[in-house]
Amino acid sequence: RDWSSDVCSSDLESALAAVKSNDYATAILALQKLHGQAGLNPEQVQAVEKTSSAVSDQMYAAANKGDPNAKKAIEDLRKTMSR
């Protein structure tokens, strides 16, 4: 499946924009949505997983340094995941 396909491309763009702006929760949720899409090839799945892991690591590192946005993202993700 090509990254340029309509839904896939939109989710990827959302995820990348969120990553660039350190909007951790939005990035992780967009990557999870992208990961769940049917038709991704193994390389695309691996790229999404690696990116999601890197964003998560970056978020926790920032939270450990006192970043209030990272701390809020962790709280928001916990609330979202527990639903």
* pLDDT at 13 > cutoff 90: no
**pTM of the complete model:** 0.84
Are 28 and 56 spatial neighbours (Cβ–Cβ below 8 Å)?
yes
Residues 22-70: tens digit of each pLDDT: 999 999 999 998 888 878 888 988 999 999 999 999 999 999 999 999 9
The tokens describing 56, both together, are 């998560």
How much is the pLDDT for 83? 73
Can you give the three-state secondary structure of the chain, one letter per residue? CCCCCHHHHHHHHHHHHHHHCCCHHHHHHHHHHHHCCCCCCHHHHHHHHHHHHHHHHHHHHHHHCCCHHHHHHHHHHHHHHCC
